[in-house]
Each structure stands twice: as structure tokens, then as C-alpha cells.
Amino acid sequence: MLQSVRSAFEYQGQKCSALSRIYVSASVWNGGFKDQFLGEIAKIKVGPPQDFTNFMGPVMCASLLVIAPALLIYF
């Protein structure tokens, strides 16, 4: 479960191998995976990259500043 969170959110999800979809059986999801998954996501610290305690920061490059808002609207 922790690996799923890291894969989805590491590097702000801006890597080609980022997790974009996960399939979990209902019994596993309801058996605690959901609560653990959401709990780990809630712990993610966001902030400037100069603070190495932050897990997520800004987008990787200036060109993504143009693309990102359009992707949010598209999806």
C-alpha cells in the first residue's frame, strides 16, 4: 500500500511510471486498504523543495505550468 502512495505522488506524479490507476478487490479495499491508503495520503507534506521534509513540491519545469491547468480541466 505504501508503495502505491509513493508511486502515485512521488515527484508530484510527474514521472512516466507514476501510478495513475489501482485495482483493489472489494474485500481488500474494505478490509483496511482504503483507510491505510487515505491515511498515508493525508500525511503527505507539501511545500518548497528547499525543505527536505516535504514530500511534494512545485511542478518540475516551467512548461508544465502551462500544461497542468489544461489537464485539470480535461480530466
Rounded CA-CA distance 24/8 in Å is 15
- Residue of 15, 29, 28, 19 lying closest to 64 (CA atoms): 15
* Domain positions in the chain: 2-74
Asked whether the CA dihedral 41, 42, 43, 44 is positive or negative, the reply is positive
Q: What CATH number labels 2-74?
A: 3.40.309.10
User: What is this structure's pTM?
Assistant: 0.62
pLDDT of residue 75: 53
7-22 pLDDT tens trace: 777 766 566 767 888 8
- 3/6 Cα distance (integer angstroms): 5
